[in-house]
Amino acid sequence: MSAPPAPAADADPDGEKPAIEVQGLTKRFGDKTVVDGFDMTVPRGTIYGFLGPNGSGKTTTIRMMCGLLTADGGTGRCLGFDIRSQTREIKERVGYMTQRFSLYEDLSIRENLDFMGRMYRLDRRRERVSQALEDLGLAGRSGQLAGALSGGWKQRLALAACLLNQPMLLLLDEPTAGVDPKARRDFWDEIRRLADNGVTVLVSTHYMDEAVQCDAIAYIAYGRKLIEGPTADVPRRVGLTTWRVEGPGLAMLAQALQGAPGVEQVARFGSALHVSGTDAATLDATAETRSASGPQRWTRQEAGLEEVFIHLMGGARDNFAAASADVDGS
């Protein structure tokens, strides 16, 4: 029986402080600064989305938070423990799900859970492992090798493994990458259930529909945080203006709009185009002209999260390719 952990179960003195609080976190690999002056505050009990293109430094940041990498600069606390000097205390209380499946493929499902149970020196280990298998719906296949599981099952097993020690903080690194939509939905139901029980969840993701489900999000590119805030607030903070265009000849129009004054992004949403830009006045002028001269209908509307993410992603497509030095937060 896995009793939901009470928020105050870990009686660390800073129980009311944020679950994660880092300032100026910096990590260099060689002469490459991979994470640069990163600040983040995650209040207890929230689902916090961590967004950014590939290679932007999400995994590196998460690893620094749970003591797997040593920060080159900055300070921080996780569940009230110092991320430099108290990594053991943090590791005892945090559930970390790696981006890549990293349980033992040549151990069976039960052996993997049992191993993790021993590593955390859990009491009633057998009982807990059996319960976890039961919850997973894998009780009948517990002798199967973990390597033989499909992607979705591996992900569920990995989650079960890092929940075994009933952590107060979950660090999930792209947990749903390569998992089918049904499994993703189930996964998020589980995340929400945990959050309702007071567990803080930091989850990195690529998917917009998942970002929308977070209470708050931070967006990182080239190792720098570009934006952070409650999810509903983010579009306003980015300051994006969007025009919705409907009517005939949208494909042609989309072409024509590339590079037009004030137009930074043209995206197709169903039967409409969403034309966005940060310079509202110029974009409005372009829209007025176009709507007067063309057959399409133009309406100004609030920029949604979708537009914001396309905007942010467009700014930094793939951070692996670029040298980090010449980028200045754009």
Partner 1 sequence: MAPEPATGRRPSRNGFSPARFGAVLVKEFVQMRRDRLTLAMMIAVPIMQLLLFGFAINSDPRHLPTLVEINDQGPVSRAFLAALETSGYFDVQGRVAGASAAERALRRGEATFVVVVPDGFERALVRGERPAILLAADAGDPAATGGATAALSGIVARVLETSLTGPLSHLRPPEAAFSVVVQRHYNPAGVTSFNIVPGLLAVILSMTMVMITAIAIVREAERGTMETLIATPVRPAEVMLGKILPYVLVGYVQTAVFLTLALLGFQVPFAGSAVAFLLGLNLFIVVNLSLGFLFSTVARSQMQAMQMSFFYMLPSILLSGFMFPFAGMPGWAQVLGSAVPTTHFIRILRGVMLKGAGLGDILDELGALAAILAVVAGLAMARYRQTLD
Ligand X SMILES: Nc1ncnc2c1ncn2[C@@H]1O[C@H](COP(=O)(O)OP(=O)(O)O)[C@@H](O)[C@H]1O
- Binding residues for partner 1, rule: CB under 8 A, are 3, 5-6, 8-11, 63, 66-70, 88-89, 91-94, 96, 98, 100-107, 111, 115-116, 118-124, 128, 161, 165-166, 168
CB of 58 to Mg ion, least distance (A): 5
Distance CA 183, CA 180 (A): 5
Least distance from C-beta 70 to partner 1, angstroms?
Answer: 6
Shortest distance, position 178 Cβ to ligand X, whole Å: 14
**Residue 105 touches which member of partner 1, Mg ion, ligand X, none, C-beta under 5-8 Å by kind:** partner 1
- Spatial contact of 84 and 233, defined as CB atoms under 8 Å apart: no
Could you tell me the smallest distance in angstroms from the CB atom of residue 19 to partner 1? Answer: 15
Q: How far is the CB of 95 from partner 1 (least distance, A)?
A: 9
Q: Which does 321 bind (CB under 5 to 8 A by kind): Mg ion, ligand X, partner 1, none?
A: none
**59, 166, 205, 286: residue in contact with Mg ion (rule CB under 5 A):** 59
Burial class (CB in 10 A: 0-12, 13-18, 19+), 208: middle
Distances (CA, A) of 43 to 51, 198, 215: 17, 11, 10
Nearer to ligand X by Cβ, of 32 and 236: the residue is: 32
Report residue 132 as tokens: 């976890």
31 contributes a contact to ligand X by CB under 6 A? no
Contacting residues for 62 by C-beta, under 8 A, at least 6 apart: 50, 96, 171, 173, 202, 204
Whether the Cβ atoms of residue 116 and residue 164 lie closer than 8 Å to each other: yes
- Considering the complex, state which of residue 91 and residue 224 has its C-beta at the smaller distance from partner 1: 91
Residue 284's binding partner, choosing from Mg ion, partner 1, ligand X, none, with beta-carbon cut-off 5 to 8 A by kind? none
182 binds, among Mg ion, partner 1, ligand X, none (CB under 5 to 8 A by kind): none
CB 163 within 8 A of CB 95: yes
> Does the footprint of ligand X cover residue 320 (CB under 6 A)?
yes
CB of 275 to partner 1, least distance (A): 43
56 scored as a contact of ligand X (CB under 6 A): yes
Separation of alpha carbons 51 and 65, rounded Å = 16
Nearer to ligand X, 60 or 142 (CB): 60
Let me know the angle formed at the C-alpha of 178 by 174 and 181, rounded to the nearest 5 degrees: 100
Indicate whether 60 belongs to the interface with ligand X (CB under 6 A): yes
Q: How far apart are CA 193 and CA 182, in angstroms?
A: 17
List, in sequence order, every residue forming a beta bridge with 20; answer none if it has no partner. Answer: 42, 78
Nearer to ligand X, 98 or 165 (CB): 98
Judged by CB under 6 A, the stretch of 58-66, 70-78, 185-193, 278-286 that binds ligand X is: 58-66
Helix (H, G, I), strand (E, B) or coil at 324: coil
Q: In whole angstroms, what separates CA 32 from the centre of its chain?
A: 23
Interface residue with Mg ion, options 23, 26, 86, 99 (CB under 5 A): 99
The residue from 20, 25, 34, 163 that contacts ligand X (CB under 6 A) is 34
Question: What whole-number distance in Å separates Cα of residue 303 and Cα of residue 12?
Answer: 42
Identify whether the C-beta of residue 200 lies closer than 8 Å to the C-beta of residue 44: yes
Binding region for Mg ion (CB under 5 A): 58-59, 99
| Contact footprint for ligand X (CB under 6 A) | 29, 34, 52, 54-60, 320
